[in-house]
């Protein structure tokens, strides 16, 4: 017996093999840059009929329209820019995760997105998502707050050039003039392919997401 004790070998599932391959590919081939910003989402908690994940998708979709270079891919030394805004949403479990696509996310209301994401989550749990559900994504979002994480990084999903992770909203004390007040603040972290999405682009994108989340 080794110093580590007995060794039990487990074979990864097909999904886990795919995750391992694509993660290694992303880390080996993409020179990524990571930036974060804090967003005040206090007002958004007044919207009880929509999910926070849906609000994040809507905010990212609007930002992708505002910063078109974020809605693309770097292929063979060229920039590809896409006309459709298709947001892949990370649905994580302890076993693995899947990233189904919300197609044309910029054309849907937060309420519509709430229903669609709920259906994708149910289909993922019941293992009835077909391959077309994972195609066509132009950007990836991970609402890491659903796992209780205050801040999270994210690996870019090739050939996309950007992905965003959102932490759980937390209560923060802040000064409003001379008065102390409590707000709900969320950390947004953007990973971007620095071959195509530079710091200024990334800052503009994060600024657009932040503005959308903070608007009344």
Annotated catalytic residues are: 194
Handedness of CA 111, 113, 116, 121 (dihedral sign): negative
Cβ-contact 50, 111 below 8 angstroms: yes
Question: How many Å apart are CA 42 and CA 215, to the nearest integer?
Answer: 10
Question: How many Å apart are CA 197 and CA 172, to the nearest integer?
Answer: 31
Helices within the chain (DSSP H only): 14-29, 52-66, 110-125, 199-214
Residue 204 three-state SS? helix
Question: How many Å apart are CA 80 and CA 6, to the nearest integer?
Answer: 50
Q: Which residues contact 48 (CB under 8 A, 6 or more apart)?
A: none
Tell me 31's DSSP state: -
Q: Which residues contact 31 (CB under 8 A, 6 or more apart)?
A: 193, 194, 195
User: Residue 187's closest CA among 213, 156, 216?
Assistant: 213
């Amino acid at each position: 017996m080794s110093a580590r004790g007995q060794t039990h070998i487990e074979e990864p599932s097909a999904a886990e093999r795919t995750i391992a391959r694509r993660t290694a590919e992303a880390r080996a081939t993409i020179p990524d840059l990571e930036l974060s910003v804090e967003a005040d989402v206090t007002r958004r908690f007044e919207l009880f009929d929509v999910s926070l994940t849906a609000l994040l998708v809507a905010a990212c979709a609007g930002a992708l329209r505002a910063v078109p270079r974020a809605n693309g891919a770097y292929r063979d030394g060229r920039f590809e820019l896409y006309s459709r805004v298709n947001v892949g949403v990370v649905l994580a479990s302890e076993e693995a995760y899947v990233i189904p696509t919300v197609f044309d996310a910029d054309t849907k209301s937060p309420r519509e997105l709430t229903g669609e994401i709920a259906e994708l989550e149910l289909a993922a749990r019941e293992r009835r998502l077909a391959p077309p559900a994972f195609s066509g994504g132009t950007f990836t979002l991970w609402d890491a707050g659903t796992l209780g994480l205050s801040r999270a990084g994210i690996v870019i999903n090739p050939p996309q050039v950007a992905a965003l992770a959102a932490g759980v909203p937390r209560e923060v004390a802040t000064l409003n003039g001379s008065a102390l007040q409590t707000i709900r603040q969320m950390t947004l972290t953007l990973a971007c392919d620095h071959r195509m999405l530079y710091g200024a682009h990334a800052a503009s994108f994060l600024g657009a997401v932040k503005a959308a989340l903070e608007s009344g």
